[in-house]
Amino acid sequence: MPIALYVNIDHVATLRQARGTQYPDPVWAAALCELAGADGITVHLREDRRHIQDRDLHLLRQTVRGTLNLEIAPLPELIDLACALKPNIVTLVPERRQERTTEGGLNVAAQGKELEPLVRRLQQAGISVSLFIAPDLVQVRAAEQLKVPRIELHTGYYCEATLVHGQQEVAKAELERLAIAAETGVGLGLHIAAGHGLDYPNVRPVAALPGVEELNIGHAVVARAVMVGMQAAVREMIEILRTVS
Ligand code: PXP
């Protein structure tokens, strides 16, 4: 099976919110991503609504033809919203108001008790739940204990190392950490996604990791789309992914 690409379109909404206009519309962007071959769309509804708005979610639920993956913090009001919306996947992510973007993974090992009722509510609504975690075996095992079907491994540590000159050894070690986490997850019966910070030059080794089935990629694709157009940006990413699967 080729690896699936879910394009995160949050930053199309960031551009819109910067001026309070109606454009660019993330709903249009989602349609263009799918027309270009993306397997699905990912959006993060942040508590402060800094980019994606509730209106976007409702329209996306009606228009996205592939997988709709909604990222939310594990907060009761957002769980209510997700249960009513019924995206295909809800990915639970940690969220801090001050952060520029999601900074770390969920500490499932420490927060299992609080997460469990929220996970069950989503599952009762027929939603496939994923947990965004660091590539740590403690977290992978804790996710399996919570009986979720899927996890998303945080690739941010690997990606950061690929950006800094002279950090190749760190990047290699982070990639190995991702490989071990993915292998362990697969062994526990979990579906494995990965994402955060992935870009055209650094995506290939992650896409090639055994067991990784889905990638969530946002900022790099939207940034390229500003230059070459959304469909071209998505197609370029898919071309790279095809060379590894
Ligand atoms: N996966 C998760 C859980 C995220 O929170 C984000 C950022 O919203 C992404 C993937 C996409 O990250 P990026 O925009 O760096 O590609």
Joined together, the tokens standing for residue 39 give 């397997």
Catalytic residue check, 71: yes
Q: Compute the distance from residue 214 Cα to the ligand 1 centre, in Å.
A: 13
User: What is the pLDDT averaged over residues 79-87?
Assistant: 98
What are 5-60's pLDDT values in tens digits?
999 999 999 999 999 999 999 999 999 999 999 999 999 999 999 999 999 999 99
Using the predicted structure, report yes or no on whether residue 102 has a pLDDT greater than 90.
no
Using the predicted structure, report yes or no on whether residue 93 has a pLDDT greater than 80.
yes
Catalytic residue check, 103: no
Using the predicted structure, report yes or no on whether residue 125 has a pLDDT greater than 90.
yes
Instruction: Choose, from 11, 51, 154, 196, the residue flagged as catalytic.
Output: 196
Q: How would you label 61-94 residue by residue, b for 16+ Cβ within 10 Å and e otherwise?
A: eeebebbbbbbbbbeeebbeebeebebbbbbbbb
Instruction: Choose, from 11, 44, 51, 154, the residue flagged as catalytic.
Output: 44
The band of 245, judged by pLDDT with boundaries at 50, 70 and 90, is low
CB 93 near ligand 1, within 6 Å: yes
Catalytic residue check, 219: no
- pLDDT at position 1 is 77
Closest ligand 1 atom number to CA of residue 222: 14
Contact (Cβ atoms closer than 8 angstroms) between residue 241 and residue 4: no
Using the predicted structure, report yes or no on whether residue 2 has a pLDDT greater than 80.
yes
- pTM assigned to the model: 0.96
Contact (Cβ atoms closer than 8 angstroms) between residue 9 and residue 56: no
**CATH 3.30.565.10 matches 4-242:** no
- pLDDT at position 101 is 67
What are 183-203's pLDDT values in tens digits?
999 999 999 999 999 999 999
Closest ligand 1 atom number to CA of residue 93: 3
Using the predicted structure, report yes or no on whether residue 92 has a pLDDT greater than 90.
yes
